[in-house]
Structure formats: C-alpha cells, structure tokens
Structure 1
Amino acid sequence: MTAPLIEFQEAALRIDGPVAEFSHQRPQSRNAMSMVLRDDYERMLDHVSRRRDVRVLIITGSGGSFCAGGDVKGMNERLQNPDPELNSPDAVRRRLQDSHRWLTPLRELDMPVIASVDGAAYGAGFGLALQADFVIASTRAAFCMSFARMGAVPDYGALYTLPRLIGLARAKDVMLTARRIDAAEGQALGFVHAVHAPEVLLAQAHAFARKLCDGPREAAAMTKNLLNKTFETDYATMCSLEAYAQGIAMHTPYHATAAARFSQGQPSAYDWDRPAVPS
C-alpha cells in the first residue's frame, strides 16, 4: 500500500512508517530554490518535528535534479525593481535571515536527515544538501558552489558546513573556483557518503534510512546535537554535556532493552554490520 502524499505548493511529503520523504516538485526549473519552496520547507519541518513516529527524513528532488540553486530569474527581476523593500542590501539580508528560520531547524532536527541527490545540487542546493547528516548521490549528481559565477558569496550555511566537512584549504578550492564536482570526487572529498546508479538512488536512500530507524531515537538525537557543537565547544564543556546526555540515554527504554538482551546473550537489535535478511 502506497503511503499518502501531502502536497505543498512546490514540494510533497510522503510518510511511510518511520521514514519521511520530502521531494522538490518543480522539475521544469530544476527545482530552483524559490521563495515558495522555502515556505514549503518551513511547513514541512513543523509537521515532521511533531511526529514521534517519524525517525528519519529524506530530502530529494524530482525530474533528475536535486536543486539547481537560487531562482536567478527572480533575482534579476528584483534587481530591476526600484522598491527598496525588495531591492536593497537590507532586503537581501532579511531574505537570507528568513531562510535560516528553516535551515537551522533542518540542521538541528532530532533525527537523521539524508539528502538523496540526483542531478544538480548547485549554489543554495549544494548548501541545502550539506545541512543533511548524510549525502547519498547518484552517479550523475553534480555539486557546485556556483556563487562566484554570479558575483555572490556562498550562503545557506555553506561557509560553516563545508570547511568542517572537507577542511579549509579544500573548501577554498571548491568555493573560489566555483567548479563542478561529480559524485565520485564528492565522495573522495568526504561530503558524499555513498554513490548509486540513478535508478536505484532513492530506494537505496530509503534502505539506509530504515537501517537507521533500528537505532536509539534519544541517543541518536543527542549524539547528533553534540556533534553539531563540537568544533565550537571546549573539551571540558563537551565532557560535561556528554555526561548530561549519557544520564538521559541510560534511562531510556531502548537502553534498558539493549542491556537486557546483552545480559541474556541475545544479539543487539542495532548492528550495522549484520547482513540484512532478504525480504
């Protein structure tokens, strides 16, 4: 039975058991990051974050593109508009700050987020993919920090996320050259987790998500939250946060069940290395 589809203006959300899939649905524009799509993200995150039954979120594109970046036609129209509420340095600042109203919750979501990238992930689309915890790409995926081509500065959090994923020198290369990076190079650089053929990409993303669903909800959420803070936090503070988090984790039903299984000689319910049982 196919899970019901929740339709937004330029995207759609399907929740299949513990896995939510949010797909960009404007392939005619290569799923460019429009103001409408930003609003769809905000509404989707509000919905998913309230669902205790959802354990993993997949974000993806449609029509062979993940997200081709900002809406350049819309940018050009704004540049021709004399209204300072639409065309001024402050207007740009406000629009970008508004984006972080949903980019930050996406990054901080209390569940793993997977970006399933087929085709173009350019500019803001690349920045969006980097907000995920895992990037799974097709063999035809292409990543580009294309901002320099437009005389712009990388945004959507990329100045923060990319150097932490691949190192400062490599981030300078990727951002200052604005060159195209294929999936294989993305994997070599370290921001792509896995590469699959386009026809099986989404199925592989769902299989990966369902393996993550077997893990501990609370411990995974706290581990993700702490890792997101680790480069800005001193050792003593991180150890203190670690202790508080462990106090919570070791009083969850998941931990109690795992400890009981171990003491009874039963295998762990969450064993990533255990071969999957054929369905």
Structure 2
Amino acid sequence: MTALVELAVEDKIAIVTLNRPEVRNAINDAMRSELVAVLERVAADQSVRALVLTGAGKGFCSGGDIAGMKERLTAPSGQVGFNGWRRQGQVHKSVGLLHGMPKPVIAAVNGAAAGLGCDMALACDFILASEQAAFTMSFVKRGLVSDGGGMYFLPRRVGLPRAKDLIFTGRVVEANEALAIGLADRVTAPDRLIADAVAWACELTQGSSVSIAFSKTILDRTFESTEEQVFALGREAQAVCYTTDEHRDAVTAFLNKAGR
C-alpha cells in the first residue's frame, strides 16, 4: 500500500511529503493519522536536524477532503458536533506537532495551499514558495472558519487587518504577492524548490541543536509573554545549555584556537 505521507532523510534533513496527488493532497482521516505518526518520529529522531514539508504532484495541500465533508453531512444530527470536536483534536495535534517541532520546519509550497493546507504552511517556521505556489484561506467559501491555527499564525505574519482581508475574502494570493506581504519568506523556481529548502534547512542547523530548540520554543511565545517571562525562560534555558556537550566543545575549541 502506498504511504499517504512519505518520509525521506537527506543531509540530516527530513523531507515529509503529503502523498495524495490525485486530490491535490487533500487531508482525510487516514492521512492525518499517518502525518501525526511521521511528525512524532521526526521529532524524536535526534539525528534529524530539520524538517521540510511539501506535497506530491502539482499541489501542496488542497485542505480538508471534500468527500469527508460529505460524509459528515450525512451523520445523524446529534453526532455531528461531537464527531467534529473529536476530528478537530487530530487536526490540532498534527498542526501542534509542526509548530512545536524542536527543530526548524520549512514548508516547501509547490502549488496550491488552500484552507487547512494554508494553515499547515503557516504553522511552519518558514515558507519557501515555488513560483507556481498559491495560497488561499478558503474556509469562508465552505461556510467554515480556519481550524488549523491560521487565525493565530496569519496575523503574526501579515498583520491583523491584512489577515482579516485574506480570511474574510478567501482570495488567492500568488507567490510574488505572498512574498511581498510576508506570507512567504522566499520564492524559488519549481525545479529548485526541494533542493533550496534542504540547503536552507542545512544553513539553519549549523549551530547547537539544543540552542536552536530552546530558542525556537521561547521565540514562539514572545508575543504572548511579558518581558520578565521571556527573561525567565531564557535564564532557565541558558542554565541547561551550560551543561551540554555542544557548549563545552564549542568553548574548548575556541580557547584552543585562541591559544595558538
């Protein structure tokens, strides 16, 4: 059976590929479960330094599977709410694993990132867009709201008024506009997308993996934290960093070089 989520490792960089190209990598329950399992595996693998998320075929991710939505509409009315609540738990688990990954995560957006697909890209630390990429917060067109963290992540990237515009209209944002408004961080040629994502990931992970993990965790909380709270988190993290082999080896190497 073909995996719905593929995992490969290149230069200590995990490449996770959503693999339902026939439906532009729409997320169904089975794919969501596989994605959670793969992300947990990557998070736990200390030999992996960063993660690149992309999609097979022409699309990054077209969002939730419409067939699943149709099935939901036929469920008994008394079960719809609880079934939806339970499904949302899995959605949030997968997005939380992306956002909370203790190593850099790059979304390599190769085509359309719509609805939940856009939310998933926003959950990553960085977005590298192919020139053929397009983003849309299409939930409003289905009578829904962003359920994958987009209402949290998008304003932090593009500002509150622009986030409202993109969410209220559900309009399509092409790659160049995405770069201009901060929705994407870089744009590259389609045939360079994965190679450039891996190269960027390698560049981001030259330093201490412990330092990067702590720094990412603290930075992701800065907008919700006070100055004193950020200082406290930094103090606690630094105390741990003092004890690591990476810190000891780096200081020793520097002193040995300076003493020559």
Indicate the TM-score class for this superposition, using the shorter chain for normalisation: over 0.9
Give the drift of 1:89: 2.2
| Equivalent-residue separation in structure 1 for 2:207 and 2:184 (angstroms) | 22
**Counterpart in the other structure of 2:229:** 237
| Equivalent-residue separation in structure 2 for 1:149 and 1:59 (angstroms) | 26
Alignment of 1:49-60 (within 5 A): 49-60=43-54
Indicate which of 181, 189, 192 corresponds to 1:197: 189
**Counterpart in the other structure of 1:20:** 14
Give the drift of 1:64: 1.5
| Equivalent-residue separation in structure 1 for 2:242 and 2:183 (angstroms) | 31
| Equivalent-residue separation in structure 1 for 2:220 and 2:2 (angstroms) | 29
TM-score (norm 1): 0.87
Give the drift of 1:84: 4.0
Query: Is the alpha carbon distance of 1:127 and 1:261 closer, same or farther for their aligned partners in structure 2, counting shifts above 3 Å?
Result: same
Alignment of 1:135-154 (within 5 A): 135-154=127-146
| Equivalent-residue separation in structure 1 for 2:203 and 2:245 (angstroms) | 19
Show structure 1 runs of 4+ deviating over 4 A: none
**Counterpart in the other structure of 1:75:** 69
**Counterpart in the other structure of 2:157:** 165
Deviations 1:134-186 (A, max 9, x none): 11010010000000111111110111111112111111011011100011111
| Equivalent-residue separation in structure 2 for 1:10 and 1:83 (angstroms) | 30
Query: Secondary structure of 2:60's match?
Result: coil
Query: Secondary structure of 1:155's match?
Result: coil
Is contact 2:106-2:197 (8 Å) kept? Answer: yes
| Equivalent-residue separation in structure 1 for 2:14 and 2:20 (angstroms) | 19
| Structure 1 or 2: more helix by fraction | 2
Structure 2 counterpart of 1:34, which letter?
A: N
Structure 2 counterpart of 1:134, which letter?
A: F
Number of aligned residue pairs = 258
| Equivalent-residue separation in structure 2 for 1:59 and 1:72 (angstroms) | 22
**Counterpart in the other structure of 1:39:** 33
Alignment of 1:178-257 (within 5 A): 178-257=170-249
Deviations 1:14-34 (A, max 9, x none): 123411111011100000011
CA RMSD of aligned residues (A): 1.7
Give the drift of 1:90: 2.4
2:126 matches 1:134? yes
Is contact 1:9-1:36 (8 Å) kept? Answer: no
Gaps of 5+ in 1: 1-6, 267-279
Gaps of 5+ in 2: none
Q: What percent identity do the matched residue pairs reach?
A: 37
Deviations 1:223-262 (A, max 9, x none): 1000111111111111111111122223322223333444
| Equivalent-residue separation in structure 1 for 2:231 and 2:91 (angstroms) | 32
TM-score (norm 2): 0.93
Segment of structure 1 superposing worse, 257-266 or 73-82: 257-266
Give the drift of 1:265: 4.8
| Equivalent-residue separation in structure 1 for 2:125 and 2:90 (angstroms) | 22
